[in-house]
Copies of this chain bind each other. A is one copy, B any other.
Amino acid sequence: MALPSGLEITKEVLDAEIKAFFDLAPPLKNSDDVSQKLEAFVKTNSLLSGTGGARRVVCVTSGGTTVPLEQRCVRYIDNFSSGHRGAASTEYFLKAGYAVIFLHRRGTCQPYCRSLPDDPLLECLEIVDESNIQVHQFHSQAVRSAITKTHAAVAEGLLLKLPFTTIFEYLQMLQMVAFTIKSIGPHAVFYLAAAVSDFYVPWKSMAEHKIQSGSGPLDMRLVQVPKMLLVLRKDWAPMAFCISFKLETDSKILLEKADMALRKYKMHMVVANELSSRKEEVVVVTSNEKILVRQNKSLGVDDVESALIELLVERHAVYVENSDHLTGQQNSSLSG
């Protein structure tokens, strides 16, 4: 589907917009630390031999980003997301043998913690006597499982958790992940489940102090966040397998929007989900298919992510094989 001309901006304009976004963004605080962790994580996992070579690494993004409305941030716009999908998907990617970079909104749902109550420490533990604290019988299995599995995944070097809050932090870290993960070519996956702000207030045009509630209404102008997906695909990590998400509340426009995102940003797959039914079913949109994925209650699985990740892992395997084959052909033609 060709997009109407005039709506598209050129790659040069987009590149300039993205450069301006990063140049004007407040600098990432723990940038060196994140960078070191990322490099060590990707290096270790690329040296380990998984099935037929390096271990596959997926960057799962999860939770919503915030957009500050004031520089000394009191008010901000937030995108709602519990992070449930990202956390569940991380579990299934780990189960499938992937190493996972879990780029998540601070405070959102963590892998293996989905069945814990909201305030787990106060609700799951009880004091037995002066020297003993124990886990309530009711939560015992969930707590044990959360701790054992999380600690194991981190200890084995298979899970790297990176938290963000603002849109500025998120995009800066996503770029760092891409630059690092680029080295493993088609073995890298981006699974972009985070709810990323479409609009923001540029840092320099932001009110320094708290906006005053004098008399009358508040008018705000937000500008569009430059679309980074295309640049992620083209420049940041061109060989990585990319899956993005499209969430809508209006099912009538959902598939069309997902299809548009697939073409516009050159994604390998777009997962279309509607707000009200997103926990039961999603539609995976590729260049030539629309695959309905539903939770399989008859198998006792109460989430849709199990079947979704199974499908994605299959498709990624084919992608890796084709890429290897292509590289092999190139190598033999080079050596021939």
Contacts and interface: CB of A to CB of B under 8 A. Distances in A.
B73 A77 contact: no
Interface stretch (A31-39, A50-58, A245-253, A297-305): A245-253
In the assembly, how many copies of this chain are there? 2
A76 B80 contact: yes
B74 A80 contact: yes
A147 B122 contact: yes
Q: Chain A interface mostly helix, strand, loop or mixed?
A: mixed
B220 A74 contact: no
Contacts of A76: 77-78, 80
Contacts of A77: 69, 75-78
A113 B119 CA distance: 11
A126 to B, nearest CB: 7
B217 A199 contact: yes
Nearest to A106: B118
B146 A195 contact: no
A111 to B, nearest CB: 10
Given A218-B199, A220-B222, A222-B218, A121 B118 contact: no
Contacts of A197: 75
A151 interface: yes
A224 B219 contact: no
B250 A209 contact: yes
A7 interface: yes
Contact of A80 (B73, B209, B247): B73
B69 A75 contact: no
B79 A75 contact: yes
Nearest to A252: B209
Interface residues of A, number: 61
A146 B127 CA distance: 10
Interface-central residue, A73, A80, A118, A217, by most chain B CB under 10 Å: A80
Contacts of A78: 66, 75-78
B209 A249 contact: yes
A148 interface: yes
Interface string A143-187: 110111011000000000000000000000000000000000000
A328 interface: no
Contact of A150 (B106, B122, B247): B122
A124 interface: yes
A135 B79 CA distance: 35
A198 interface: yes
A312 interface: no
B143 A195 contact: no
A221 interface: yes
Contacts of A143: 121, 125, 133
Contact of A215 (B7, B80, B147, B151): B7
A79 B74 contact: yes
Nearest to A195: B74
Interface string A37-74: 00000000000000000000000000000100110111
Closest 4 pairs between A and B when the two form their complex, measured CB to CB? A198-B213, A120-B121, A72-B249, A218-B222
15 contacts: A72-B275, A74-B195, A74-B247, A74-B249, A75-B80, A76-B80, A77-B77, A77-B78, A113-B121, A122-B146, A125-B147, A126-B147, A209-B248, A218-B222, A220-B221
